[in-house]
Each structure stands twice: as C-alpha cells, then as structure tokens.
Amino acid sequence: MDSEKRIVEIHGIKMEVDLRYAKRIDTYRVGDAVKLLIKEHSYSSSYSTYPGVIVGFCGFAHQPAIEILYLKNDGDICLMAFSEKADAELAPFNDYEIVFTRADVLEKMDRKIFEKEEELHTLKLKREAFVKHFGEAFPREMEVALEKEKP
C-alpha cells in the first residue's frame, strides 16, 4: 500500500499523493505560449527561464520532441528541440506573466537587423580601403590573388 503513495513537495508544501489516482497530463498545441527552464551550462547547476512558443512537434520513434522558439534576454530568438533528455523543463505560460508584446519583440529584432547591417557596411568599407591601399605594401601578385577571392 505504501508503494502506491508518494510524498511530493511543491513550493515548500509537502503533499502525499496516491499514485493510483494521481495523473499529470499536459496538453500543448502549436502556437501555445510556454515557459522554458534551461540549464545554463553543462557544468553548472544554474537555470534560467525564457518565454517561448511551440512551433512544431517531431514525432521521432525513439525520442519525440517539441520544437520551441524562445526569446533570450538580449532579444535573440533561438530554436530548441525539447525532448525528454534535454536539460530543460517546459510549463504553460499564464496570461498575467506576459511582460512583452509582439510589437516589442519585432522592435528588438528590427534594431538588431539595423545594427548588423551597419556592421556589414563598415566591414565592406574596411575591405575596400584594404584592397585599395594593399599594393603599397605588398607585391602585385598578392593583390591579384585577393581580387580573385572577392565574393
């Protein structure tokens, strides 16, 4: 009879659960908002929570997975295939926990795109300056080789 009962602690409250009647069923659909608890590093015991959305399910025979897009604190959007063996946990997102809007996320992404475009423009200018002034310090053969490598 004792093997049918288990003591479970939730937020410091200990409860005795009869396993004959207890059942945990989580139902998720594509598009559901979720919280993702991810272990920061394999050598660390610290975890962080990120908001995310379910974008698909992978019905692999040996290890099915849930595909989740989640938002990091710096605005990066990451894709994770959440499975039973992942160093992560999944929980539903409550409406009162949502602290950002779709417009907020899109604004962050647009800002990052602008920053990367500026970085690309700067790198192109540096490359042009290098190619233009390269002949002053090196023989012409090296400059021709560089021109052939140009994308």
Report yes or no: 97 and 106 within 8 Å, Cβ to Cβ: no
Taking only the tens place, the pLDDT of each residue in 13-36 is: 778 887 777 666 678 888 888 888
Please state whether beta strands 65-71 and 77-83 pair in parallel, antiparallel, or not at all (unpaired): antiparallel
**% of the chain at pLDDT higher than 90:** 9
Taking only the tens place, the pLDDT of each residue in 2-14 is: 667 888 777 677 7
| Encoded tokens for 128 | 């042009």
Residue 126 counted as domain residue = yes
**DSSP label of 94:** P
Domain around 39: 26-97
Shared-domain flag, residues 63 and 112: no
Shared-domain flag, residues 48 and 91: yes
Report yes or no: 33 and 39 within 8 Å, Cβ to Cβ: no
Paired with 58 in beta bridges are 65
Show which of 78, 97, 116 is a domain's final residue.
97
Show which of 81, 97, 113 is a domain's final residue.
97
Greatest mean pLDDT among 8-22, 79-93, 97-111, 117-131: 117-131
Residue 2 counted as domain residue = no
**In this predicted structure, what is the pLDDT of residue 125?**
95
Number of H helices and number of E strands within the chain? 2, 7
User: Rounded to an integer, what distance in angstroms lies between the CA atom of residue 109 and that of residue 50?
Assistant: 17
